[in-house]
Structure 1
Amino acid sequence: MKLHLCIPDLFWPENLQTDIYQSLKLPALEMLFAKGHLVEGAGQTTESWLCKLFDIHKQHDWPVASITLLREQGNIECNREDYWLRVDPVHLRIENNHLLLGDSYILNISLKEAISFTDSINELISDNGLVLLPLHSDRWYLRCNGTPDLRTFLLSEVVGKNINDLLPLGDDRSIWNSRVNEIQMLLHDHPLNQTRESQGELVVNSVWLWGGGVMPEKIYAPYTKIWSNHVFAQALARAGDIAFCNLPENGNELLRHADNLGEQLVFLDNLQKYANYKDAFNWSNELARIEQNWFAPLLQALKRKQIIQLKITTVNNCSTKDFTLTPSSLWKFWATVRPVKSYG
């Protein structure tokens, strides 16, 4: 069995804060890193890495909206040439002259709330022939009239960051920025936000445009199965006609249920939300769980040759690192085991 394990933000994003690793015991991960063959590349986002993996080319944006739509479109009629845009609910907060963005991780919106918000927004934008579709509580979709000259930043690029320099670009940016401003004014006085605020919840005070594009002509990846809870990874598997399953609890469970045919991808994004919000406590606790639930059992499976090749990929904005091992790699006695922080 060949296994490709991708874990975004496996390294803490702030390189100078190396003390975060001091209390972590990661013997299996350190062994895998030490014995693996390392190839390092440029930093990138999770979505761009997945798109390249599936041989998808960037349009104005990475076409996330049109692909994830396949996973949840229901009875919506759409053509392959339709241009779809994600218009997701967010919370903006002013701090030290910065405008910081929070996503659904901190908003906890229900589908009923999403429908109420989008019903109001649709009254505002209907004159432009636009309809915002809340196909999930935090994934809202807009089919555009034609292809706008608009280049946006992925939501994962802006979460927890100052968005002042991350607003949409392109010849049509002023039209779309104006629409977002109108939506912000509507949301400011929305009764549902008043209710949320009275209950101590964060208000939905803006939307983020991103992931625009048409459906790619081909989607391909050399995997027989994909294991992930990540919405985009699942949507890519469906679009590429690749079998996919929700992520099991741990590596042992995966090994019990996985067949030995071809190469399988495990996409585990549990660390990303904590890295985005610089939540060091929960990030380190989650990494400790991944060590116990994934790295330790996969190392043992490699030793007994149940896995004949293991590739570990980690992606963040600074670098992309691939560590590749076979059972014989574990015999590299000259490879010194080093702390995880030394690789970051």
Structure 2
Amino acid sequence: MHIHLLIPGLFWPEAGRPEVYSDLSLSALEVILAKSRYTESQPQGIEEWLCRSFGVSKQQDWPVAPIMLQLDGAGKGFDQNGYWLRADPVHLRIQHNHMLLADSQVFSISLKESIQFTDTLNQYYSKNGILFLPLHADRWYVRIPKIPSLQTRLLSEMIGKNINNLLPLGKESSAWHNIFNEIQMLLHQHPLNQEREEHGELAINSIWFWGGGMMPQNIRSTFNQIWCDHPFTHALAVASGVNRHPLPPDAKAWQHQAIPGNHLIVLDSLWGRTQYRNIYEWREYLGSLEKNWFIPLLEAMKKRITSQLTITVLNESGIKNFIMTPNNLWKFWARAKSLSNYGQN
């Protein structure tokens, strides 16, 4: 079997901080990395990497919205051949003239609340033919009559960033900047946000437009089975006709279910912790990955149960690929070293 692990955030994003890795027992992962063949490439967001892996071309944006609509809008009668745009609820915080963005990883929002917010937006924008659809509590969609001349940035790349210079580009960007500002005013005045703040919750004071496009044709995959809890990976599996399974708790449980073939396993528990610089939880989850995945996968490689293990690490500094086969275990000169050595930019 060939196993491909996609692990965004495996290395801490701030180079030159070896103390982040201190006292972590990661012997199996360190052996795997040391024995592997290594390649590196330019940074990509997780959605971009997944699109490329499934043969999806970039339109004005990476077309996340129409692909996800196959999942979130299934059976609801939407025209899935038109242009769709994501408009996800976010919280903006002003700090030293910077406008910093936080997504639903750090706040909770119910579907009932989302419907109330989008009802207000639709009352204001329906006359322009812009319709907001809260198909999931934290995944909102916009249906637009015609394709806008607009280029947006992936929400996953905006976490914790100053968005002042990262707003949409294109011939119609000025109009969309105005919509962006109007929405902030509408949400700021919304009674539901006053209730949220009274209960100590973050206000939903903006949205982020991203992932617009038309449904791509011929989405395909080299993987026979996909294991994930990541929604966009799930949607790509559905679109490509590949069997998708929920992420098992560990590699042993995965081995009991897996059949021979080429497997993609998305381990994304570290990603949000690196985006929000949560060192404590990142270390905790990394230790769990060592115990639950890296140790049993290294044993499976030693027993030749798996013929190839690829680990793809997505970080802000770039993509790192580690490719290992059973024969690599004989590389006696490739000694294990601390994970901090791999995380350097």
TM range (shorter): over 0.9
Distance 2:99 2:72 in 1: 31
Distance 1:169 1:239 in 2: 29
Counterpart position of 1:91:
91
Distance 1:259 1:266 in 2: 14
- Show the 5 A alignment for 1:179-218: 179-218=179-218
Runs of 4+ in 1 over 2 A off after TM superposition: 74-81
Amino acid corresponding to residue 321 of structure 2 in structure 1: D
Do the aligned partners of 2:225 and 2:243 also contact (CA within 8 Å) in 1? yes
Counterpart position of 2:315:
316
Counterpart position of 1:288:
287
| TM-score between both structures, scaled by the size of structure 2 | 0.97
> Gaps spanning 5+ residues in structure 1: where?
none
Counterpart position of 1:162:
162
> What secondary structure is seen at the aligned counterpart in 2 of 1:40?
strand
Distance 1:73 1:79 in 2: 10
Do the aligned partners of 2:69 and 2:80 also contact (CA within 8 Å) in 1? no
Do the aligned partners of 2:33 and 2:322 also contact (CA within 8 Å) in 1? yes
State the 1:172 CA deviation: 0.7
State the 1:81 CA deviation: 3.5
> What secondary structure is seen at the aligned counterpart in 2 of 1:175?
helix
Q: What do the CA deviations read for 1:216-258 (whole angstroms, capped 9, x no partner)?
A: 1111110111000000000000000000011010111101111
State the 1:305 CA deviation: 1.1
CA RMSD after TM alignment? 1.0
| TM-score between both structures, scaled by the size of structure 1 | 0.98
> What secondary structure is seen at the aligned counterpart in 1 of 2:269?
coil
Do the aligned partners of 2:109 and 2:137 also contact (CA within 8 Å) in 1? yes
> Gaps spanning 5+ residues in structure 2: where?
none
1:246 and 2:246 aligned = yes
> What secondary structure is seen at the aligned counterpart in 2 of 1:106?
coil
Distance 1:56 1:330 in 2: 35
State the 1:79 CA deviation: 4.1
> What secondary structure is seen at the aligned counterpart in 2 of 1:153?
coil
State the 1:334 CA deviation: 1.3
Do the aligned partners of 1:44 and 1:318 also contact (CA within 8 Å) in 2? no
Counterpart position of 1:23:
23
Distance 1:107 1:70 in 2: 26
Counterpart position of 1:12:
12
1:271 and 2:251 aligned = no
Do the aligned partners of 1:38 and 1:321 also contact (CA within 8 Å) in 2? yes
Distance 1:343 1:180 in 2: 40
> What secondary structure is seen at the aligned counterpart in 2 of 1:164?
helix
Q: Identify the range of structure 1 (203-212 vs 8-17) with the bigger mean alpha-carbon deviation.
A: 8-17
Amino acid corresponding to residue 307 of structure 1 in structure 2: T
Amino acid corresponding to residue 284 of structure 1 in structure 2: R
Q: Identify the range of structure 1 (10-19 vs 250-259) with the bigger mean alpha-carbon deviation.
A: 10-19
> What secondary structure is seen at the aligned counterpart in 2 of 1:322?
strand
Amino acid corresponding to residue 130 of structure 1 in structure 2: I
Counterpart position of 1:37:
37
